[in-house]
Amino acid sequence: MRMIDPEVELVVCGSSGASMPTFGDWEERVLEHTYEQADLISAHAYYEQEESDLGSFMASAVDMDRFIRTVISIADQVGARKESRKRIDISFDEWNVWYMSRMEPAADWDRAPRLAEDSYNVADAVVVGSLLMTLLRNSDRVAVACQAQLVNAISAIRTEPGGPAWRQSIFHPFALTAKHARGEVLSVLPTSPVYDSARYGEVPFLDSVSTHDPDTGELNLFSVNRSTHDGVQLAIDLRAFPGYQVAGHQILAEEDRQATNSQLEPTRIEPREAGTEFSQGRAEVTLPPISWSLLRLVRTP
């Protein structure tokens, strides 16, 4: 393939998922054989709420971050052993919230059966937003990140045959991040109280990541409050970026965490403006429980 197109990039597949029994060992073996030919190594991760463990579900991005760092460490170890100057990055080929426990096989060879048509609620959207934040934070080594399904099957968009289409809750953090996360990812080190999750140990309630577009000057802060009961105070100090004003602050949150968008209520779940203001480079805003937000700032004319 490279004889035809020298620019083509090769993705090799290790174990794909961190829960597989071969994880770690198989990544290392594959890269031992392909390091000089490959450009990226594949990763997959899907998350769902298990029974009533909402706290661990809200911390899914912590697991994704550990997954990414582990694969990077393995790749760098193989490269060091080979004394190679080449760097292998990650292609996160598949990721999303997916309720695999709800899947049932199609019956009798149905035509276009309704498989994995999950209806996503508020908590699902907040988790998807936090996963996007983790991908941004690791964008120095995550070169590709894809949602493999877009319509109907574990999707951001649902349709009915011959009928309407509507945006699911997870559509909104994906669309806003894709539109506004441009330029450079800044190093943001939020401090926050922590809680003890059953699956991932101590997890901070607050997480944030920021992007800065040097061409337009736009500055964006993506934040998530993982707390299932309490609001979290987000205090922002932007004195390192003088002369900015708020262009919008959209928060996705609802008291009914099980609420979904549907054919009858296609706009039940949407981000809402928070009306945040800055004073002398500082701002404070309370993020509601189980919420994802995007604060957009632009240079003052």
Structure-block tokens of residue 199: 């699956």
Displacement of CA 165 from its chain's centroid (Å) = 24
Predicted confidence (pLDDT) per residue in 244-278, tens digit: 888 999 999 999 989 999 999 999 999 999 888 87
Average pLDDT rounded to a whole number, residues 22-45 = 95
Predicted confidence (pLDDT) per residue in 226-250, tens digit: 999 999 999 998 888 888 888 999 9
Structure-block tokens of residue 207: 């997480």
Helical axes 171-180 vs 122-137, angle rounded to 10°: 30
110 domain-assigned = no
Please give the residue range of the domain that contains residue 264: 11-105+116-299
Q: What domain count does the chain have? A: 1
Q: pTM of the full predicted structure?
A: 0.94
Distance CA 217, CA 81 (A): 42
5 domain-assigned = no
Distance CA 190, CA 203 (A): 12
CA-based diameter of the chain, in Å? 66
218 domain-assigned = yes
pLDDT at 214: 92
Q: Is residue 106 scored above 90 in pLDDT?
A: no
pLDDT at 280: 78
Q: What is the CATH number of the domain that holds 89?
A: 2.60.40.1180
155 domain-assigned = yes
